[in-house]
A = this chain, B = another copy of it.
Amino acid sequence: MMYALDLIGIAVFAISGAMAARQLQMDPFGSLILAGVTAIGGGTLRDLLLGITPFWIDDHNYLYVIAVTAFITMIWPLTRGWPYRILNVADAFGLALFTIMGMSRALSAEVSITVAVVMGVMTGVAGGMIRDLLSGQVPLILRREIYATASLAGALTYAGLHHLAFEWHASVAIGMLVTLVVRLSAIRWKLTLPTLTHNT
Protein backbone atom coordinates (compact mmCIF):
# COMPACT_ATOMS: atom_id res chain seq x y z
CA MET A 1 0.00 0.00 0.00
CA MET A 2 2.64 2.51 1.06
CA TYR A 3 4.76 1.21 -1.80
CA ALA A 4 2.01 1.81 -4.37
CA LEU A 5 1.42 5.33 -3.05
CA ASP A 6 5.15 5.99 -3.20
CA LEU A 7 5.28 4.95 -6.86
CA ILE A 8 2.26 7.15 -7.64
CA GLY A 9 3.93 10.10 -5.93
CA ILE A 10 7.08 9.49 -7.96
CA ALA A 11 5.03 9.38 -11.16
CA VAL A 12 3.14 12.57 -10.31
CA PHE A 13 6.30 14.55 -9.56
CA ALA A 14 8.02 13.11 -12.64
CA ILE A 15 5.08 14.43 -14.68
CA SER A 16 5.43 17.85 -13.08
CA GLY A 17 9.17 17.87 -13.85
CA ALA A 18 8.67 16.69 -17.43
CA MET A 19 5.97 19.33 -17.96
CA ALA A 20 8.28 22.06 -16.72
CA ALA A 21 10.90 20.72 -19.14
CA ARG A 22 8.31 20.78 -21.93
CA GLN A 23 7.53 24.43 -21.32
CA LEU A 24 11.28 25.12 -21.57
CA GLN A 25 11.48 23.15 -24.84
CA MET A 26 14.14 20.86 -23.39
CA ASP A 27 15.39 17.83 -25.31
CA PRO A 28 14.23 14.33 -24.23
CA PHE A 29 17.19 13.46 -22.02
CA GLY A 30 17.33 16.84 -20.37
CA SER A 31 13.62 16.38 -19.65
CA LEU A 32 14.33 12.95 -18.20
CA ILE A 33 16.88 14.47 -15.82
CA LEU A 34 14.54 17.26 -14.73
CA ALA A 35 11.74 14.71 -14.21
CA GLY A 36 14.09 12.49 -12.20
CA VAL A 37 15.45 15.25 -10.00
CA THR A 38 11.95 16.51 -9.24
CA ALA A 39 10.69 13.02 -8.44
CA ILE A 40 13.51 11.70 -6.28
CA GLY A 41 15.09 14.94 -4.99
CA GLY A 42 13.04 15.33 -1.82
CA GLY A 43 13.09 11.68 -0.83
CA THR A 44 16.80 11.37 -1.55
CA LEU A 45 17.55 14.33 0.69
CA ARG A 46 15.38 12.82 3.43
CA ASP A 47 17.16 9.46 3.20
CA LEU A 48 20.61 11.09 3.27
CA LEU A 49 19.63 13.02 6.41
CA LEU A 50 18.24 9.85 8.02
CA GLY A 51 21.48 8.04 7.19
CA ILE A 52 19.77 5.31 5.16
CA THR A 53 20.40 4.20 1.58
CA PRO A 54 18.40 6.33 -0.87
CA PHE A 55 15.18 4.48 -1.70
CA TRP A 56 15.80 4.21 -5.46
CA ILE A 57 19.20 2.49 -5.22
CA ASP A 58 17.95 -0.95 -4.21
CA ASP A 59 14.65 -0.85 -6.10
CA HIS A 60 14.72 -0.09 -9.81
CA ASN A 61 10.95 0.31 -10.12
CA TYR A 62 11.28 3.97 -9.12
CA LEU A 63 13.69 4.70 -11.96
CA TYR A 64 11.53 2.77 -14.44
CA VAL A 65 8.39 4.64 -13.37
CA ILE A 66 10.21 7.96 -13.87
CA ALA A 67 11.48 6.98 -17.32
CA VAL A 68 8.08 5.76 -18.53
CA THR A 69 6.11 8.66 -17.03
CA ALA A 70 8.53 11.27 -18.34
CA PHE A 71 8.38 9.75 -21.82
CA ILE A 72 4.57 9.66 -21.86
CA THR A 73 4.45 13.26 -20.63
CA MET A 74 6.78 14.34 -23.43
CA ILE A 75 4.66 12.84 -26.22
CA TRP A 76 1.19 13.43 -24.73
CA PRO A 77 -0.82 15.69 -27.03
CA LEU A 78 -2.06 18.81 -25.25
CA THR A 79 -4.37 21.53 -26.27
CA ARG A 80 -3.08 25.02 -25.57
CA GLY A 81 -3.82 26.47 -22.15
CA TRP A 82 -3.82 23.23 -20.24
CA PRO A 83 -0.22 22.85 -19.17
CA TYR A 84 0.04 25.39 -16.37
CA ARG A 85 -3.16 24.22 -14.65
CA ILE A 86 -2.26 20.52 -14.91
CA LEU A 87 1.23 21.26 -13.64
CA ASN A 88 -0.23 22.94 -10.57
CA VAL A 89 -2.65 20.12 -9.80
CA ALA A 90 -0.05 17.39 -10.35
CA ASP A 91 2.24 19.35 -8.09
CA ALA A 92 -0.42 19.56 -5.36
CA PHE A 93 -0.96 15.79 -5.45
CA GLY A 94 2.75 15.17 -5.28
CA LEU A 95 3.10 17.62 -2.41
CA ALA A 96 0.39 15.84 -0.40
CA LEU A 97 1.68 12.34 -1.10
CA PHE A 98 5.34 13.09 -0.44
CA THR A 99 4.69 15.06 2.73
CA ILE A 100 2.83 12.17 4.35
CA MET A 101 5.03 9.40 2.87
CA GLY A 102 8.12 11.32 4.00
CA MET A 103 6.78 11.60 7.55
CA SER A 104 5.81 7.95 7.61
CA ARG A 105 9.28 6.90 6.48
CA ALA A 106 10.97 9.23 8.97
CA LEU A 107 8.84 7.85 11.82
CA SER A 108 9.78 4.28 10.90
CA ALA A 109 13.44 5.39 11.17
CA GLU A 110 12.56 6.32 14.75
CA VAL A 111 13.12 10.04 14.80
CA SER A 112 10.98 12.28 16.98
CA ILE A 113 7.64 13.58 15.75
CA THR A 114 9.09 17.12 15.47
CA VAL A 115 11.91 15.96 13.21
CA ALA A 116 9.41 13.82 11.26
CA VAL A 117 7.31 16.92 10.50
CA VAL A 118 10.44 18.69 9.22
CA MET A 119 11.32 15.63 7.13
CA GLY A 120 7.78 15.40 5.74
CA VAL A 121 7.67 19.02 4.64
CA MET A 122 11.19 18.70 3.22
CA THR A 123 10.26 15.58 1.25
CA GLY A 124 7.20 17.39 -0.04
CA VAL A 125 8.75 20.69 -1.09
CA ALA A 126 12.41 19.90 -1.94
CA GLY A 127 11.86 18.17 -5.28
CA GLY A 128 9.69 20.99 -6.57
CA MET A 129 12.12 23.61 -5.28
CA ILE A 130 14.99 21.96 -7.16
CA ARG A 131 12.82 21.74 -10.30
CA ASP A 132 12.00 25.46 -10.10
CA LEU A 133 15.62 26.43 -9.42
CA LEU A 134 16.85 24.41 -12.40
CA SER A 135 14.12 25.94 -14.57
CA GLY A 136 15.37 29.41 -13.69
CA GLN A 137 12.21 30.30 -11.77
CA VAL A 138 11.70 31.59 -8.25
CA PRO A 139 10.46 28.47 -6.42
CA LEU A 140 6.68 28.06 -6.02
CA ILE A 141 7.01 28.13 -2.23
CA LEU A 142 8.30 31.70 -2.44
CA ARG A 143 5.34 32.96 -4.45
CA ARG A 144 2.96 33.53 -1.55
CA GLU A 145 0.63 30.79 -2.71
CA ILE A 146 0.18 28.77 0.49
CA TYR A 147 2.50 26.03 -0.68
CA ALA A 148 4.68 25.28 2.33
CA THR A 149 1.65 26.03 4.48
CA ALA A 150 -0.39 23.31 2.77
CA SER A 151 2.41 20.81 3.32
CA LEU A 152 2.75 21.81 6.96
CA ALA A 153 -1.01 21.60 7.55
CA GLY A 154 -1.08 18.01 6.30
CA ALA A 155 2.05 17.12 8.24
CA LEU A 156 0.67 18.48 11.52
CA THR A 157 -2.65 16.68 10.93
CA TYR A 158 -0.82 13.41 10.37
CA ALA A 159 1.36 14.07 13.43
CA GLY A 160 -1.75 14.57 15.55
CA LEU A 161 -3.41 11.40 14.28
CA HIS A 162 -0.16 9.46 14.78
CA HIS A 163 0.03 10.75 18.34
CA LEU A 164 -3.53 9.57 18.95
CA ALA A 165 -2.52 6.14 17.58
CA PHE A 166 -5.08 6.49 14.81
CA GLU A 167 -5.27 3.74 12.19
CA TRP A 168 -2.42 4.18 9.67
CA HIS A 169 -4.34 4.04 6.38
CA ALA A 170 -6.90 6.54 7.61
CA SER A 171 -4.18 8.85 8.95
CA VAL A 172 -2.41 8.83 5.60
CA ALA A 173 -5.64 9.55 3.74
CA ILE A 174 -6.71 12.36 6.05
CA GLY A 175 -3.24 13.95 6.15
CA MET A 176 -3.05 13.93 2.37
CA LEU A 177 -6.57 15.27 2.02
CA VAL A 178 -5.77 18.25 4.27
CA THR A 179 -2.74 19.21 2.19
CA LEU A 180 -4.66 18.73 -1.06
CA VAL A 181 -7.68 20.75 0.02
CA VAL A 182 -5.56 23.60 1.38
CA ARG A 183 -3.33 23.74 -1.68
CA LEU A 184 -6.08 23.34 -4.30
CA SER A 185 -8.25 25.92 -2.52
CA ALA A 186 -5.33 28.33 -2.55
CA ILE A 187 -4.90 27.78 -6.29
CA ARG A 188 -8.62 27.93 -7.07
CA TRP A 189 -9.48 31.08 -5.11
CA LYS A 190 -5.99 32.62 -5.25
CA LEU A 191 -5.77 32.61 -1.47
CA THR A 192 -2.71 33.94 0.29
CA LEU A 193 -1.78 34.15 3.93
CA PRO A 194 -1.24 37.64 5.24
CA THR A 195 2.39 38.49 5.80
CA LEU A 196 3.02 39.40 9.41
CA THR A 197 5.06 42.51 8.73
CA HIS A 198 3.90 46.06 9.50
CA ASN A 199 6.06 48.00 7.11
CA THR A 200 6.42 48.09 3.33
Is A121 in the interface zone, CB < 8 Å from B? yes
Tallying the copies of this chain within the complex gives 3
CB pair B139–A138 under 8 Å, yes or no, is no
CA distance A24 to B63 in the complex (A): 36
Assuming the A-B contacts A26-B195, A27-B195, A138-B136, are A33 and B148 also in contact, with contact meaning beta carbons closer than 8 angstroms in the complex?
yes
Question: Cβ of A148: which chain B residues have Cβ within 8 Å of it?
Answer: 27, 29-30, 32-33
Question: Cβ of A51: which chain B residues have Cβ within 8 Å of it?
Answer: 53
Is A135 in the interface zone, CB < 8 Å from B? yes
Segment 60-114 of A: residues with Cβ below 8 Å from B: 60, 63, 71, 74-75, 77-80, 111-112, 114
Q: Which residues of A contact B (CB under 8 A)?
A: 21-22, 24-30, 32-34, 36, 44, 48-49, 51, 53-54, 56-57, 60, 63, 71, 74-75, 77-80, 111-112, 114-115, 118, 121, 125, 129, 133-136, 138-139, 141-142, 144, 146-149, 152, 192-200
